[in-house]
Copies of this chain bind each other. A is one copy, B any other.
């Protein structure tokens, strides 16, 4: 029997091939070359893999779900291309971002084009599923914009609560992940109960995934994550750690953080200083604890399945996420 790493590799290859097919080989070059570049520089393809595993979990097949999987990945790529402009990030997946390699107009348009190409993939779905899936997808597009808007608003806001943080990441990151499990469940022919369980599973691992992302941005080195180290601190992002620190750290620590966040330019030394405060105030431990709790909760949801043995793929998926280094 195939082990999970092989399963993931096979799915990823299938998705990569379909993604390249989804980008037309026609003019204008200034639209399709950047799109081809961006979908071609890799990416973990977690969302489409999750969608396909969800379809399998409800006993559906991959073939009927593949174009939705490709659509989700294209939509995810749209958010990355536009977010990188807004956040002025120059590095993504270890390569230049689109606005860095070309320019901003090209990157704006590449992102817009990716939305169109994503919907084009959805239009290939069997007609009995097309409307509900298209509806979910559309609500996802709106919500992911809302999440990004909250994220940007929070950059200049020093009193973000944990509830506000969770609402923001639920929209910005969680929505696309939950959409992946829900759409997979629908296309796999899941029952209402199964769709509901997979929705809760997606929402739970989505939250865990974003807290991990926050953690990796400051805990890992640039080389490992393939994007700029400490970019969240530099941009004034209210990550899980930052929100916790602004609540729980000592007065001295908080005023130090505030001082750094208000400086015109945040140096690597300043980022290390903040990292040190997070360590001292045991914020990293709290983040890790939260992540572990969420993964446990996610596994408990899978146990509720009518045929829990079918959810082994998702159990392995959670495990893979939990152990990721970037």
Contacts and interface: CB of A to CB of B under 8 A. Distances in A.
A43 B218 CA distance: 46
Q: Number of contact residues on A: which range applies? A: 35 or more
The 3 closest A-B pairs by CB, nearest first: A31-B149, A116-B141, A116-B142
A308 interface: no
Contacts of A78: 112
A146 B104 contact: no
Interface string A98-119: 0000001110110111011101
Interface stretch (A13-21, A131-139, A316-324): A131-139
A149 B111 contact: no
Interface in A207-226: none
* A interface, over-half SS: helix
A135 B127 CA distance: 12
A296 interface: no
A82 B78 CA distance: 14
Contacts of A141: 112, 115-116, 119
Contacts of A106: 152
B115 A152 contact: no
Interface string A10-39: 000000000000000001111100000000
Given A112-B82, A141-B116, A142-B117, A135 B149 contact: no
Contacts of A5: none
A148 interface: yes
Given A82-B109, A109-B82, A109-B145, A150 B28 contact: yes
B109 A111 contact: no
Contacts of A119: 119, 134, 138, 141
Given A31-B146, A112-B115, A116-B145, 12 more contacts: A28-B146, A28-B150, A31-B145, A31-B149, A82-B109, A86-B108, A104-B104, A108-B108, A108-B111, A109-B152, A120-B139, A127-B131
25 contacts: A27-B150, A30-B149, A31-B145, A82-B108, A82-B109, A86-B104, A86-B108, A86-B109, A104-B104, A108-B108, A111-B112, A112-B115, A112-B141, A113-B149, A115-B115, A115-B141, A116-B138, A116-B141, A116-B145, A117-B142, A119-B141, A120-B139, A120-B142, A123-B135, A123-B138
A105 B86 contact: yes
A91 interface: no
Contacts of A27: 146, 150
Nearest to A171: B28
